[in-house]
Structure 1
């Protein structure tokens, strides 16, 4: 990356553009390596417009012309007695915890109730009850926190090589054809995808939610992989989140409490397994990282966490906005009166693209790897990086593609990859409508 390229997309004290460009350029390099390994002669690239728009894919979604609501009523910053707390109540079960702990129904009652708590006490009370909240900390306060100390030397991504794996498409090399021109997928304009089917024959089991993990699996799906995402029926994904990262995937619902065997069977035949639940959450179903390594020794396994897997918060739930608030990013992005946030959920999107790059690299090299990535690692990248150049940002266009779906007409930002100068969008499948089985 040319370090002389000025910031020109967003405002704020952090060089978010540098983080975005670096991760997407790394993804382009990994896709190029994969193409070479699979005999495709293609050109892989991106544009500033695609990168910037994709880092706000959810906000840029339009369904029948309408934008989604980004934050639920009980999400966001609330003033406590001695500081600020960031709450995450977008999911109904997390919102229910906030209501129960504070004894409130709506936002007005929330503000009054929170003002009677110390910030750290409210953080702990909501977290202990199964909700998501964090006291807003300065950088100095975060650096003294036990979790910051535990993760201070941890890399953003850690790759453990477990040895050779079979051919790029699994034990049977499931591709019906090799090289450019054998994709078998027709684009909406009638042109064969060809080189955009770099991952044809690759099976990806997607056990992730929210933004980062689904961003990764969407890239893999749009490069031709058979991506099967599994969600619990009792806690469905927010529909707009599924739509904004759902290109090319099949979506199925499986209750692990009753049918974990089915998912373990799927894992045994997968080439790539992505997990993004709180560390430890899948262990009781026999789907923890070590169990997956035994079930699927051939697979590239990615474990995504909020805080890293060690330290006192290693098994704590977290989201992009929560990590921002804990680490000092929110304070630096705010004013003297109120904390703020990055212009986009950069920790999520950057981590998702890094996940995809590491997967493509492992497949290109025919390695079975276990890859660990955390949102905290992305935050540390921003916090330790240089400040942005002192130039005014310029407005960039928002490249969207229009797709029909069962829930309306969708205008979506495709993944930030160009193959031979063309975007790699795919149709969005219906949420929860697929069978929990592999194709072919």
Structure 2
């Protein structure tokens, strides 16, 4: 079956332009394998395009190191789609369920709303408004007494996470929808501070020797840093003392070491400052003012780490009335009209989101591409860079490229899709899906198996 490259190539061109990449490099990208995930939006094209953008960034960096023509970047659409779901294949064991039992979609008196309760403090926030419930039946009864907009606001006001289901048109006219539509897909800003680093890339392991400090959670940021680790970066993830993601860490911590610090404590702050002072890339997913309130705002980060490549994301965009609102992929799909459009198009009787957490993963690979492009620019100019992305803006990107989707299905997974490399984890043996991105002379390889949060000391190797 021939591959229809056009939708993915159009998305790649748009993304690469947003990353300020050399458009001539687009000729180095190719897509293989036909078919698409079942969705009314081009999710497989988003997967292949964003992974291709990250791959092109690596190719560009290698080109800078070797002064040769950019290596061809071939992306397997099937495997890219699978990596947008779950990449690990445990042998004889199962990771915990990724969702809290109460999380999900509920019917309010005037429509649907989604509650996100995976984190304990988010569940408690919802229960402050709706009461404590042990199952969805009890929660559903409580939700049914509310109007969806009122309930969303009430939960958000007490620090929780919820999103009423809006239509595409409703979001387009919403103040936050208008704000997000006016933002660039990737907001890039070159900084004036200059690096002290003498690091230079290696053609075979392009990011070897780079230090990446990972302050992200859940999916988008961890997917970005997992990509950076694949090409040799030393990724150190830092979490607060009590944070955990038991249903996600086995998949997302591949290639990283994971430590804990309490940035409210003097000794831990000092240790964090020491780590940051020798960091090349900082990736963080806190809300816009969170690091500022901790005393690690933009200027403080620049002072500690001149030449820093600083990549950050949030849920609902960086401008507008919801700029500081908590959010996750599943909530953003509800807010932006994606879940409603899926329900309407398929005749479903409940919200119909994308088949994978595509906003998270797509944003993650764009973040990785922005980070690598920042390093390439730093090699040329000596200066640091800041990039900002958001899940809501990636949703806009997907909607902007909503052409008739490929109706052929992706071929089912086979044993040949699994990498034979064994992954020895504390949970048990595992294998990974084969990596979707192929470049001559540059193989993706992770130096560390997935590991629990807090399992390593907060120090560079």
1:293 aligned to which of 302, 308, 319: 302
Is the counterpart of residue 11 in structure 1 residue 38 in structure 2?
yes
Residue 371 of structure 1, aligned match among 370, 377, 387: 387
| TM-score of the aligned structures, taking structure 2 as reference length | 0.84
2:251 to 225, 244, 266: 244
Provide the rounded CA distance (Å) in 2 between the counterparts of 1:86 and 1:407: 31
Query: SS at 1:99's partner residue?
Result: helix
Q: CA deviation at 1:104?
A: 2.6
Which residue of the partner structure matches residue 47 of structure 1?
Answer: 76
> Does 2:14 align with 1:2?
no
Task: Describe how 1:382-393 pairs up with structure 2 within 5 A.
Answer: 382-389=398-405, 391-393=407-409
Residue by residue, what CA displacement relative to the aligned partner does 1:327-368 show, whole Å, maximum 9, x if unpaired? 000001123521111011110001000011111112123241
Aligned partner of 1:56 in structure 2 is 85
Count of residue pairs the alignment pairs up: 416
Determine the C-alpha separation between the residues in 2 that align with 1:313 and 1:61.
Answer: 38
Structure 2 SS opposite 1:96: helix
Once residues 438 and 37 of structure 1 are traced to their aligned partners in structure 2, the CA distance between those partners, rounded to angstroms, is 26
Are the equivalent residues in 2 in contact too, given 1:218–1:415 (CA < 8 A)? no
Q: CA RMSD in A?
A: 2.3
Residue 53 of structure 2 is matched in structure 1 by 26
Q: Secondary structure at the match of 1:379?
A: helix
Q: Which moved more, 1:82-91 or 1:32-41?
A: 32-41
SS in 1 for 2:248: helix
Q: TM-score, normalised by structure 1?
A: 0.88
Deviation at 1:317, TM superposition (A): 0.7
Paired position in structure 1 for 2:274: 265
Change (3 A) 1:345 1:61: farther
SS at match of 1:239: coil
In 2, Cα distance between the equivalents of 1:203 and 1:127?
A: 36
Please give the residue correspondences for 1:29-428 in structure 2 after superposition, counting only pairs within 5 Å: 29-39=56-66, 44-57=73-86, 61-62=89-90, 64-66=92-94, 68-105=96-133, 106-163=135-192, 165-166=194-195, 171-173=197-199, 179-180=202-203, 195=204, 197-236=205-244, 238-258=245-265, 259-334=268-343, 335-366=347-378, 367-389=383-405, 391-397=407-413, 399-401=417-419, 402-413=422-433, 416-420=436-440, 422-428=443-449
SS of the residue corresponding to residue 37 of structure 2 reads coil
Cα–Cα, structure 1 residues 295 and 234, in superposed 2: closer, same or farther, change >3 Å? same
Unmatched 5+ stretches in structure 2: 9-32
**How many Å separate the matches in 2 of 1:93 and 1:414?**
36
Q: Secondary structure at 2:371's aligned position in 1?
A: helix
Q: CA–CA distance in 1 between the matches of 2:55 and 2:262?
A: 36
Change beyond 3 A, Cα 1:390–1:48: closer
User: What's the counterpart of residue 437 of structure 1?
Assistant: 459
Counterpart contact for 2:40–2:405, Cα < 8 Å:
no
Farther-moved stretch of structure 1 (373-382 vs 383-392): 383-392
Deviation at 1:211, TM superposition (A): 0.5
Q: CA deviation at 1:91?
A: 1.7
Distance 2:279 2:214 in 1: 10
Matched residue SS, 2:312: strand
Cα distance change, pair 423–137 in 1 and its aligned pair in 2 (3 A): same
Say if 1:63 and 1:301 are closer, same or farther in 2 by CA, change over 3 A: farther
Question: How many angstroms apart in 2 are the aligned matches of 1:205 and 1:423?
Answer: 20
Q: Is the 8 A contact 2:191 2:385 kept in 1?
A: yes
Report the CA distance between 1:386 and its aligned residue: 2.9
- Contact 1:9/1:396 (<8 A) preserved: no
Between the aligned partners of 1:332 and 1:396, the Cα distance in structure 2 is 26
